[in-house]
Chains A and B, each alone.
Chain A
Amino acid sequence: MAETTYLAAFIAVAAIATFATRVIPFLFFERHTEHPLIQHLGRYLPAAVMALLATVFLQRSGTWSADLPGFDALIPGLLVVAVHLWRRNALLSIAAGTASYMVIQQTGVF
Chain B
Amino acid sequence: MNHSVFRLTLPILFGYLPLGMAFGVLFATQLDYAWWVAPLMGVVIFAGAGQILAVSLLAANAGMVEVFVAMFVLNARHLFYGLSLLGQFRGAGWRKVYLIFGLTDETYSLLTSRPRGPDRAYEQTVDFRITAFNQGYWVIGCALGALLADNVAFNSTGIEFALVALFIVLTIEQLKALGDSFPVWLGAAAAGAAMIALPPAHQLIGAIAIVTAILLLHYRRIRGKQSSEGEVNRG
Chain A 56-70 near chain B by CB (<8 Å), digits 1 or 0: 111111000000000
Residues of A within 8 A of B169 (CB): 80, 84, 90, 93-94
Q: A13-B64, A37-B219, A90-B11 are in contact. Are A56 and B171 (CB under 8 A)?
A: no
Determine if B182 is an interface residue (Cβ-Cβ < 8 Å).
yes
CB distance from A9 to the nearest CB of B (A): 6
CB-CB contacts below 8 Å: B179-203 with A: 182-188, 190-192, 194-195, 200, 203
CB distance from B53 to the nearest CB of A (A): 9
Determine if B207 is an interface residue (Cβ-Cβ < 8 Å).
yes
Q: How large is the interface on B (under 10, 10 to 19, 20 to 34, 35 or more residues)?
A: 35 or more
Q: With A and B bound together, what is the CA distance between A18 and B105 in angstroms?
A: 12
Determine if B126 is an interface residue (Cβ-Cβ < 8 Å).
no
Residues of B within 8 A of A38 (CB): 83, 86
Residues of B within 8 A of A85 (CB): 172
CB-CB contacts below 8 Å: B48-105 with A: 50-51, 54, 57-58, 61-62, 64, 67-69, 71-72, 75-87, 89-90, 96, 100-101, 103, 105
Q: Is the CB of B45 within 8 A of A11?
A: yes
Q: Is the CB of B167 within 8 A of A57?
A: yes
Q: With A and B bound together, what is the CA distance between A87 and B186 in angstroms?
A: 26
Q: Is the CB of B89 within 8 A of A26?
A: yes
Q: For the complex, would chain B's binding face be called helix, strand, loop or mixed by DSSP majority?
A: helix
Chain A 90-107 near chain B by CB (<8 Å), digits 1 or 0: 110110011001111110
CB distance from A75 to the nearest CB of B (A): 11
Residues of A within 8 A of B222 (CB): 40
Q: Across the interface, name the chain B residue whose C-beta is closest to A77.
A: B168
Q: With A and B bound together, what is the CA distance between A50 and B183 in angstroms?
A: 9
Q: Is the CB of A51 within 8 A of B191?
A: yes
Which of A20, A21, A97 is B168 in contact with, Cβ under 8 Å?
A97
Q: Across the interface, name the chain A residue whose C-beta is closest to B182.
A: A44
CB-CB contacts below 8 Å: A22-45 with B: 22-26, 29-30, 32-33, 36-38, 40-45
Determine if B113 is an interface residue (Cβ-Cβ < 8 Å).
yes
Q: For the complex, would chain A's binding face be called helix, strand, loop or mixed by DSSP majority?
A: helix
Q: With A and B bound together, what is the CA distance between A32 and B162 in angstroms?
A: 36
Residues of A within 8 A of B41 (CB): 11, 14
Q: Is the CB of B174 within 8 A of A50?
A: yes
Q: Is the CB of A14 within 8 A of B219?
A: no
Residues of A within 8 A of B82 (CB): 22-26, 29
Which of A36, A45, A54, A73 is B80 in contact with, Cβ under 8 Å?
A45
A residues apposed to B, CB below 8 Å: 6-7, 9-26, 29-30, 32-33, 36-38, 40-61, 73, 76-77, 80-81, 84-85, 90-91, 93-94, 97-98, 101-106
Q: Which 9 A-B pairs have the closest CB atoms?
A: A25-B82, A51-B187, A55-B191, A105-B158, A48-B187, A17-B71, A102-B158, A47-B174, A101-B161
Show 18 A/B contacts (Cβ-Cβ < 8 Å), sorted by A: A18-B75, A19-B101, A21-B72, A23-B82, A40-B222, A48-B190, A50-B171, A51-B185, A51-B186, A53-B167, A57-B164, A60-B200, A81-B168, A81-B172, A84-B168, A90-B11, A91-B10, A102-B159
